[in-house]
Structure 1
Amino acid sequence: MTIHSTLSPRLTGGNAAAHKSRDWFALALLMFPVLLVAVDNTALTFALPAIARSLDPSGVELLWVVDAYALVLAGLLVAMGSLGDRIGRRRLLLVGISGFAAVSAASAFAPSAEWLIAGRAALGFFGAMLMPSTLSLIRNIFQEPGRRRLAVAIWAACFSGGAALGPIFGGWLVEHFWWGAVLLVAVPIMLPPLILGRFLIPESKDPKPGRVDAPSVVLSMLTMVPVVYGIKELATHGPGLAPFAVMAFGMAMGFLFVRRQQALASPLLDLSLFGNPVFSTAITANILSLFSYNGFILFLAQHLQLLEGMSPSESGTAMVPALTAMVLAGLLVVPLVRKVRPGFVVAAGLALSATGYCLVTFGNHDGGPATLLAALLLLAVGVGAAETISNDLILGAAPAAKSGAAAAISETGYEVGSLLGTAVLGSILTASYQQHLALPAVVAETVPAAAADKAGETLAGAMELAGSLPAPLAEALTAAARASFDSGVHITAAIGLVLMAAASALAAVVLRRIPRAK
């Protein structure tokens, strides 16, 4: 089977060395879109206040500025991964890079909220071409397991590093320029792979591609978009008939999607991939890791900003050491799997993340942010180590010809895990806070009923009210809000502990027979 259509047969001697050097240059170019997508995911959040002042959107429109990108991206990941297998992964990547850069430049100067929402949706369309293409190209460029493992570790490190830089980078751009700079920066970042990619990134695709099944693409969209939208609605507005109905529709479309794939000779998504226990277990571990990790970041950010009084950029900076440790852990486990079975490395990483949640579940949070930041460090190191190896196992378990589909499933797992962590754990945290908050009698008697109700809904509402009260009342309200919020943190942390422990046990059992790397 020919995987590198421009580089086969494999070379020897000096030419082989040059060929391997070219592989690393190709990897360097692939990191530009990875870095951009990671930064873009977190940086735009810090531009929202400036966007609100400049474009004067409604609350719903401002929410769609963020959601339009995520919904289109999640809906098209599977379709784009499979499309790359068929038409060529490099070709799809370069199309995605060109479109992403052009739409980013246009969106930076959007004259209205409606234009910006449309631009964000278009960015989701082109963004869905990027991440599966980069990961599947790595699978086909680095065919030797040891080199592939290191390349995947660099890919994961770049993604984690970009996520860490996003809050700091986004805040700096908005402060020194204008909100559009967060989008406009995509143009210079995308230029190197756009100019050099055709020469340094080898093309690869399925040697026996089938036709693209349009109904399957539509069904995949009708599955992912309603489910993701329903999750976001639950996270924003809490339980209700509408989000559950939307998710039920998405799951019904998912059932039809699966039935159609089973009937097609050349399906959009090869469901046989899930029959490999290594593949399905690694995907499950990734989803549970992202679920727990994003839930942790959700309540940690609120604690640092609302209870410790940090600004958004200060809270982002406080998390940088842990996120740096995540990057380093992902790189350091590459040589480790030559001495320890990969399944045990994944299990140990997830167990370390469970230890971080244990620290939060049974720890005392009254002494400042030290305990939570220490827990984040353990969680980040564990997730960084586990995800590097699990992503390598995902790619290694799938046939090279189906690497685009495998990468798309992995990326979809990332998106779903992140959204579920924010929605489910966020909803539980909010419900626990509302249930346990008891306003001090002196505060309830002093403030208007509407203000008291707002304080009872969210921690942000309570802190806003405390800022307008005299010192004794503010201290009493803050103490009550802190106690209620911490009760919710203990509950969500306990859930994260159980999930991480379960994922660790699953990895230890199912992945234990995978031999050590050579």
Structure 2
Amino acid sequence: MTGTPGAPSAQDAEAAAGQGTVGKATYEEWLGLVVIVLCCVLVAMDISVLFYAVPFVSADLTPSTTEVLWVMDIYGFLLAGLLITMGALGDRIGRRKLLLFGAAGFGVASVLAAYSSSPGLLIASRALLGVAGATLAPSTLSLIRNMFHDEGQRRTAIGLWTAGFAAGAMLGPITAGVLLERFWWGSVFLINVPVMILVIVLGPILLPEFRSPSPERFDLFSAALSLAAVLPVVYGAKRFAEGHHDWKSIAAVVAGLAVGALFIRRQRRSRDPLIDTKLFRDRAFSTAIVTTTVVQFAMLGMMMLSSQYALSVLGLRPFVASMWQLPAIATLFLGLTLAGVLAKRVRPAFIVCTGLTVAAAGFAVMSLVTADSGLALIVVGSSIMTSGVGMVVLLATDVVVASAPPERAGSASALSETSNEFGGAIGIAMLGSIALTVYRREVEDVIPPGLPATADEATRGTLQAAMEVAKSLPDPAGAALKQGSIEAFTDGLQIAVLTGSAILLVVAAAAAIALRPVRIDAQQVGE
């Protein structure tokens, strides 16, 4: 990203060692990118594909409430917890090899999940999916680093990679809704199998192999520390989002952060670290990691709040509500495309700052939502936000990839992916907690006197529960509780998105300063 105009970077030259001079990607490499993006779509889709399938799973397997939560959460927990380990492993044994092993594991785990006959087997299958997904995510991005040496082409490839993950997360509920109209719940897992077979067949043909020329010893203790650091933080953040503001949630986050400090200390002292902490001395790299964390914070928080509004306030069916996410997907692609065009002419600092400001404006539009405003403001606000997110994530990811030497591309990619997972978890937890706190404070004023204790507790818990309680009450008490709880929820939504908007603006200002020295060489963008 930085350097003498017109001169290829030393990192690119090193990446091309043994593969000829730095040049344009071939047709074969672009086909290989298709294989990579397919992996991205499925890894992201499996995070959200169960949102609408849970009622069908519950009816068939009759899991307990705790088992339902584990079915939903175990995939994301292990995916986040193992990204750093798998990124480092790919640097050592080969990124294509790890990708192919992961694809095979993902396919097998999908079949096991689809035909699970008990909640325990489904939980175990989802856990295997998380492990396999953790091998796919960093491998895909690090392979892009080795396949696309031209700066402009690499940026385009990263844009498609980013779009694959974002579209997969948003398409999960839509895909599930379509399949569940015709097939049983296991079909939401079986759709992974043909794609993974395609990856296994075409991967050895279209994807190059790359491993560190001097592979280091794999530190199993560091791998265990990374898992022990990430899992408690994600778990605690999720508990906060669910309204459990108790000592267990706090203890989980604190314990994870403490283990994380031990992990970083070991990486600094180890001769064979899983991650190169020297990367964080690069201001552009550190800023890019923070920026990707914040945009995921915003996007996942937005998806959670907007879906709750559509389902609970407007009463839309899940499938119909998910279809209204399509405009946001379209504007995400628009933002990615615009960033790629602008990157040839202006500095990354301007693009990233503009993207964050646009995303903040999207949150500001959503703050205008009221109990009676309908869906239009949610759709417009979320679409504005994702256009800004698309601009940011393309440039930020490109900075991360370009900053790392080729032999450390897997570790750098894993750091980028881990920051995404953390950002999403924190966004759901923080914005969800703000909205829930405001809701609980205001709904107290509209709870009718004499309400049974269980109904009173349910009303204070969630808007959806309050709506069910309101249905059981005669008018005018029921109508008053329904309207009052909706207004309490929208007030909480407004404060949450305004908080998110303020955070985005602060990070925009910081990124504008930190990324100011970073330039993009005109010749490397292929002009």
Is it true that 1:321 corresponds to 2:327 in the alignment? Answer: yes
**Secondary structure of 1:367 counterpart:** coil
Pick from 238, 241, 249 the counterpart of residue 243 of structure 1: 249
Deviations 1:446-477 (A, max 9, x none): x4342133112210111112233345433312
Matched letter for residue 493 of structure 2: V
Which residue is 2:493 aligned to?
489
Output one character per residue of 1:285-336: Cα deviation in whole Å (capped at 9) or x when no partner. 1111111221121111111111111111111111211122112221232121
Identify unmatched segments of 5+ residues in structure 2: 1-12, 523-527
2:49 matches 1:38: no
User: What amino acid does structure 2 have at the position aligned with 1:114?
Assistant: G
d(CA) in 2 for partners of 1:178 and 1:4? 48
| 1:237, distance to aligned residue in structure 2 (A) | 4.3
**Quick one: which amino acid aligns to residue 453 of structure 1?**
E
Residue in structure 2 matched with residue 211 of structure 1 by the alignment: 217
Does the 8 A contact of 1:81 with 1:404 survive in 2? Answer: yes
Percent sequence identity is: 38
* Residue of structure 2 in register with 1:272 after alignment: 278
Q: Distance in 1 between matches of 2:294 and 2:116?
A: 37
In structure 1, what is the Cα distance between the partners aligned to 2:467 and 2:49? 25
* Alignment root-mean-square deviation, CA: 1.8
**Amino acid in the other structure paired with 2:505:** A
Structure 2 residue 445 is matched with structure 1 residue 434:
no
Cα distance per residue 1:184-237 (max 9 Å; x no partner): 111111111110111110111222221101111111111111111122222224
In structure 1, the partner of 2:4 is none
Structure 2 SS opposite 1:306: helix
AA at the equivalent of 1:448: P
Name the counterpart of 2:427.
421
**2:471 aligned residue:** 467
Residue 456 of structure 2 corresponds to 452
Please give the secondary structure, in 1, of the residue aligned with 2:198: helix
Q: CA deviation at 1:363?
A: 5.7
Aligned residues between the structures = 510
The 2-side partners of 1:474 and 1:513 are apart by 60
Cα distance 1:71–1:380, how it changes in 2: closer, same or farther (>3 A)? same
Question: Residue in 2 aligned with 1:393?
Answer: 399
Structure 1 residue 20, shift from structure 2 partner: 1.1
How far has the Cα of 1:517 moved from its partner? 4.6
Correspondences of 1:215-294 after superposition (within 5 Å): 215-294=221-300
Kept in 2, the 8 Å contact 1:235–1:424? The answer is yes
Rounded Cα–Cα distance in structure 1 between residues aligned with 2:121 and 2:281: 44
- Match status 1:500 vs 2:504: yes
Paired position in structure 1 for 2:484: 480
Matched with 1:200 is 206
Is the 1:86–1:209 Cα contact (8 Å) retained in structure 2? yes
Shift of 1:279: 0.6
Match of 1:511 in 2: 515
Deviation string, structure 1 residues 160-191 (Cα, Å, up to 9, x no partner): 22222211111111221111111111111111
Instruction: Give the Cα separation in 1 of the matches to 2:485 and 2:494.
Output: 14
Q: Would you say the 8 A contact 1:455–1:465 is kept in 2?
A: yes
C-alpha separation between the residues in 2 aligned to 1:36 and 1:477? 42
- How far apart are 1:362 and its partner, in Å? 5.2
1: CA distance, partners of 2:506 / 2:443: 31
Letter matched to residue 79 of structure 1: T
SS of equivalent to 1:444: coil
Contact kept in structure 2, 1:295 and 1:426, CA below 8 Å: yes
**Letter paired with 1:490:** Q
Partners in 2 of 1:471 and 1:173 — Cα distance? 39
- 1:456-507 CA deviation, whole Å, 9 max, x = no partner? 2210111112233345433312210122112211211121011110111111
User: How far, CA to CA, are the matches of 1:434 and 1:427 in structure 2?
Assistant: 10
Q: Structure 1 residues 4 and 97, CA, compared in 2 at 3 Å: closer, same or farther?
A: farther
**Structure 2 residue 347 is matched with structure 1 residue 336:** no
* TM-superposed deviation, 1:365: 5.3
Query: What is aligned with 1:304?
Result: 310
Asked if residue 9 in structure 1 is aligned to residue 17 in structure 2, the reply is: no
Separation in structure 2 between the aligned mates of residue 127 and residue 66 of structure 1, nearest angstrom: 15
> Which residue does the alignment assign to 2:176?
170
Matched residue type, 1:290: Q
User: Structure 1 residue 248: deviation in Å?
Assistant: 2.0
1:270 counterpart letter in structure 2: D
Report the Cα distance in structure 1 between the residues aligned to 2:497 and 2:489, rounded to whole angstroms.
Answer: 12
In the alignment, what sits opposite 2:7?
A: none
Does the 8 A contact of 1:160 with 1:327 survive in 2? Answer: no
1:183 aligned residue? 189
Q: Is residue 47–residue 76 contact of structure 2 (8 Å, CA) maintained in 1?
A: no
Give the equivalent residue in structure 2 for 1:82.
88
Whole-angstrom distance in 1 between the partners of 2:64 and 2:16: 50
Q: Name the residue aligned to 2:8.
A: none
Cross-structure match for 2:100: 94
Contact 1:235 1:426 in 2 (8 A): yes
Q: Deviation string for 1:34-78 (max 9, x for gaps)?
A: 111122111111111111111100000000001111111111100
CA distance in 2, matches of 1:109, 1:66: 17
Instruction: Kindly indicate whether the alpha-carbon contact (under 8 Å) linking 1:108 and 1:179 is maintained by their aligned counterparts in 2.
Output: yes
Return the alpha-carbon distance in structure 2 between the equivalents of residues 72 and 407 of structure 1. 17
State the alpha-carbon separation in 2 of the partners of residues 72 and 469 from structure 1. Answer: 43
1:372 and 2:378 matched: yes
Q: Which moved more, 1:286-295 or 1:413-422?
A: 286-295
Map 1:343-382 → 2, pairs under 5 A:
343-361=349-367, 364=370, 366-382=372-388
Deviation at 1:114, TM superposition (A): 0.5
| One-letter code aligned to 2:207 | I
